[in-house]
């Protein structure tokens, strides 16, 4: 079974530039998550999708971050414009479902390491 | 509010000696608890999970953890460390509410020396 795919693996940009990250979840997984992991910290949820709808985006800085999952499969996370403090690893994860009735394991991609200069 | 606290940012052991990584949690609900491992330049991998069944949970690679509600703890242990265990370990809580994602601790770096 193929895992969660992310691209690019690394990205270096200047502050105020734009950047986009792509994620392809495990086939059939309805729930997709984007996490931000700043160096020395644990991952923090940015946004959660259930199929193509947003379940939780309470911690997404909406003035500069946006995400979409138009067909309920692939997802794109965009930052525009980037700030120095956005330097982090952006992780995508997927699971077969979310909500009550039991936990479904989240499978993580390798991440995209963003450096903002 | 739900949270996890990993009590050690860095643990160093010798190969063949026991490993103990400590984690305390805070949750208003009956939580699900997990340990994830992250090797350099690799994705997060689930080591083990507690979801209100047996309090002693066995995971992959010889790791296990015990859920202690009275102490609000979920410490990770392994009887004998191996060089390949060197990595970053995260204690994680899922507050068990609909639509709520994982909440990660800050991580513990495990170093294993020969």
Contact criterion met (CB < 8 Å) for B107 and A42: yes
Report yes or no: B106 at the A interface, CB cutoff 8 Å. yes
A53 Cβ partners below 8 Å, 6+ apart?
Answer: none
Residue B35 has pLDDT above 70, yes or no: yes
Under the banding of pLDDT at 50, 70 and 90, the label for residue A94 is very high
Average pLDDT of the residues in A10-27: 96
Average pLDDT of the residues in A8-25: 97
Per-position DSSP letters for A15-68, written without gaps between them? TT--EEEEEE--TT--EEEEEEE-TTS--EEEEEEETTEEEE-TTS-TTTEEEE
Interface of A to B at Cβ within 8 Å reads: 3-4, 33, 40-45, 48, 50, 55-56, 91, 93, 98-100, 102-103, 105-106, 108-111
Chain B's closest residue to A55, CA to CA, is: B99
Of A98, A83, A67, A55, the residue nearest A106 (C-alpha): A98
Please tell me the predicted confidence (pLDDT) of residue A40: 87
């Amino acid at each position: 079974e193929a895992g969660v795919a992310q691209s690019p693996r690394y990205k270096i940009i200047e502050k105020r530039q734009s950047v986009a990250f792509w994620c392809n979840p495990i086939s059939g997984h309805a729930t997709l998550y984007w996490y931000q992991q700043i160096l020395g910290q644990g991952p923090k949820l940015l946004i959660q999708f259930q199929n193509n709808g947003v379940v939780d985006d309470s911690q997404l800085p909406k003035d500069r971050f946006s995400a979409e999952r138009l067909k309920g499969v692939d997802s794109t996370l965009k930052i525009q414009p980037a700030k120095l403090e956005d330097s982090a690893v952006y992780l995508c994860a997927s699971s077969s479902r979310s909500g009550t009735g039991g936990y479904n394991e989240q499978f993580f991609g390798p991440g995209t390491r963003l450096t903002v200069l | 509010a739900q949270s996890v606290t990993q009590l050690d940012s860095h643990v160093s052991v010798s190969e063949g000696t026991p490993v103990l990584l400590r984690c305390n949690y805070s949750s208003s609900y009956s939580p699900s608890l997990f340990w994830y491992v992250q090797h350099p330049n690799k994705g997060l991998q689930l080591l083990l999970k507690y979801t209100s069944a047996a309090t002693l949970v066995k995971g992959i690679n010889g790791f296990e953890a015990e859920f202690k509600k009275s102490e609000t703890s979920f410490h990770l242990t392994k009887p004998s460390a191996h060089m390949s265990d060197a990595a970053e370990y995260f204690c994680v809580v899922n507050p068990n509410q609909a639509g709520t994602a994982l909440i990660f601790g800050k991580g513990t770096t495990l170093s294993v020396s020969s």
